[in-house]
Amino acid sequence: MKLDTSMAAAPLSECGASARAAEEIGFEAVWTSETSHDPFLPLVAAAQHTSRVQLGTSIAVAFARSPMVLAQIAWDLQAHSQGRFILGLGTQVKAHNERRFGVKWEKPGPRLREMIQMIHAIWDSWQDGARAQFEGAFYNYSLMTPFFNPGPLPCGRPKIYIAGVNEYMCRLAGELCDGFHVHPLHSIRYLDEVIRPNLQKGLQQAGRKPAEVSLASSVFVVTGKDAEAIEKTKRRVKQQIAFYASTPAYVRVLQVHGWEEIGRRLTERSKKGDWAGMADEISDEMLDVFAVVAGEDDVVDRVKRKYEGYLDRIAFYFPATLGDEARKRAIVRAFNGAA
């Protein structure tokens, strides 16, 4: 299991130094997200200032860009990083696609499947000289002249991860992708009953092996120097869990535990703008299911025991800060089994 980190939303001028620090501390990968900044531009700076860590998006909103645009961005970042880039894609939800990005929302699962297929077809043209050919219900590709072909990469094509919550996305990852970003709102029971069985179905359909698809996630962690610090962090993590659980698209995670009524209440609170009060709906029992709660001396061991055999790579979710640089180094050393 690898320990990754995320790059906090920051000006581009700070991204190179941030990535370099993460590499020097010992993290295995640096991930960006599509929140208040573009997810790809920081990785240009990150690639320039690092040589070892993998660099990826977790996630870039897929339908805000065409398959060709994504293929080109990923190709250039793979070349620039000398083979360290991972293209992480997610569908986002209907409201954000239509009202934030201004793009059409239709059949997200099948559409993402075609997007990945077309990206693969484009990369086949560039890497292996394959004919420009893909025809689907949402995307078509039949033109690639030498003028627009960047040519093959010595380091090979990028990897593609997708993010998801429900069954279709798990099967899609197993069928076509190199990795699957498990949503931070998850539980071991959800991994056992939904994620892994459906991932296996996709693998079987494509004749692939489990080792061909990595499972990654940011995991909620509640920790602190003492009981008072832990209690303060609990509130922040409950707030973030409540935010995710208020989204109807994620209700399946709650249903596994019989908590769908809590999800409905959270949705109603969100519609009223009661963001602060939503954390009150998350009990300590729910927190224990969706997060790891432990003191600073035990948190690494608790995280590893919970996720060993389930996830191939993890990052601590941002509400539970790792503290200063010395603390980050100590956590990385402990995670890697160093004294």
Domain range list for the chain: 2-223+294-335, 226-291
**Per-residue model confidence (pLDDT) at position 322:** 60
Cβ atoms 172, 202 nearer than 8 A: yes
User: What does the alpha-carbon distance between residue 29 and residue 7 come to, in Å, rounded to a whole number?
Assistant: 10
**Per-residue model confidence (pLDDT) at position 337:** 86
Average pLDDT, integer, range 15-26: 96
**Per-residue model confidence (pLDDT) at position 10:** 77
User: What does the alpha-carbon distance between residue 287 and residue 221 come to, in Å, rounded to a whole number?
Assistant: 10
User: What does the alpha-carbon distance between residue 256 and residue 199 come to, in Å, rounded to a whole number?
Assistant: 17
For the ranges 48-52, 226-230, 233-237, 315-319, the lowest mean pLDDT is seen at 315-319
Phi-psi label, residue 337: left if phi above 0, alpha if psi -120 to 50, beta otherwise: left
**Per-residue model confidence (pLDDT) at position 339:** 47
For residue 320, pLDDT over 60 is answered with no
Q: Which residues contact 161 (CB under 8 A, 6 or more apart)?
A: 56, 58, 59, 86, 87, 88, 89, 173, 177, 178, 179, 180, 181, 214, 216
CATH 3.20.20.30 describes domain 2-223+294-335: yes
Cis upstream peptide for 59 (omega within 30°): yes
The model's pTM is 0.95
Q: Where are the beta strands (DSSP E) in the chain?
A: 2-6, 29-32, 54-57, 60-61, 85-90, 134-135, 140-141, 159-164, 179-182, 214-222, 291-293, 313-316
Average pLDDT, integer, range 209-228: 95
User: What does the alpha-carbon distance between residue 65 and residue 124 come to, in Å, rounded to a whole number?
Assistant: 20
Residue 101, helix vs strand vs coil:
coil
pLDDT digits (tens, 9 = 90+) for 277-315: 999 999 999 999 999 999 989 999 999 999 999 999 999
pLDDT digits (tens, 9 = 90+) for 73-132: 999 999 999 999 999 999 999 999 999 999 999 999 999 999 999 999 999 999 999 999
Which value, to the nearest 10 degrees, does the dihedral of the CA atoms of residues 69, 71, 76, 78 take?
A: 150
Angle at 120 between CA 115 and CA 124, to 5 degrees: 150
pLDDT grade, residue 321 (50/70/90)? low
Strand partners, 182: 164, 217
**Amino acid identity at 136:** G
Tokens of 101: 């990005």
Average pLDDT, integer, range 267-274: 95
pLDDT grade, residue 11 (50/70/90)? confident
Phi-psi label, residue 273: left if phi above 0, alpha if psi -120 to 50, beta otherwise: left
pLDDT digits (tens, 9 = 90+) for 161-181: 999 999 999 999 999 999 999
Nearest to 18 by CA among 37, 45, 41: 45
Strand partners, 88: 161
DSSP string, 314-333: EEE-TTS---SHHHHHHHHH
